[in-house]
Structure 1
Amino acid sequence: MTKHVATYPTDEQLERWKREAAEMDMSFSEWIQAMVEAGMKKFSPSVERDEDINDLREQRNDLRKELEARRSRVQELETALYQGEREAIAEYIENNPGAEYGEIIQHMMNSTPERVSRQLDVLDGERVQRDEEMFYPIESEK
């Protein structure tokens, strides 16, 4: 069972204690309890962080840059894919004015292997590796 204990520090002490507790990532109550116990054992506990705040900020910034680069690459690939499809439709209509919807669909179906080949050429070495006629994802570093 826990009990309430009170102390009456000066304003300066209170602020210093709160700062110390925050620096050790402890609640104020936890910190006071730990300091009392440490004082009774005649040693001061120290909490060593695995990484300091600057290292964590640097890691965060690196991860943000990596995320932004990947988002940009995804956008480029999506744009290439969708523009490729639109371009194929537009070219067919330009070469066949008055084409009916069914003819456009048939043309897209007939030209799919060519468009897929172009996309695989773009992806080869970046996200996909080719082994003769087989394709495999490139293992990414995690």
Structure 2
Amino acid sequence: MKGKSRLTHVDKAGRPAMVDVSSKPVTVREARAECRVRFPAKVAAVLRESELKTAKGAVIDTAIIAGTMAVKRTHELIPFCHPLPIDGCRFDVAWAGGNTLRIECTVKTAHRTGVEMEAMTGASIAALTVYDMCKALSHAIVVGPAKLLGKRGGKRDVGDI
């Protein structure tokens, strides 16, 4: 497949395979991802009024803890992700418009492979935690989309860090 893109987690025989990164140089890698949580208008108003606290506790603090735990365990959830030492993980959570909460996760490591999946997992699990903590108010809460905003430090930089 010279000159064409190919899937990296498939070997020459078409079987699933983990990428061998042993020959890649160790570089600082960083990725940033987001996931959004959209609430019905009345639920968003209640959450704003309560400063995002529910009977289950502080929604944002709990989501950040859950997202951080997920970042550190991404390799246990996604079969071909390498276990990575996580050098930094931070979350930014803010209202993006009247009814939508934007959860951003930035992850950093010095390794041979990137942390895009860790950032995506962190943002997604944090968003799912928000849903879990708020579902007593409504099951019409929508999680997503989740998307990569940027990465740097590997073969190519993508998006914005």
Using structure 1 for the length normalisation, give the TM-score: 0.29
User: Which structure has more helix as a fraction of its residues?
Assistant: 1
* Bigger Rg, which one: 1
Q: What is the TM-score when the length of structure 2 is the normalising length?
A: 0.27
Select the structure that is richer in strand.
2
Higher relative contact order (CA 8 A, sep 6+): 2
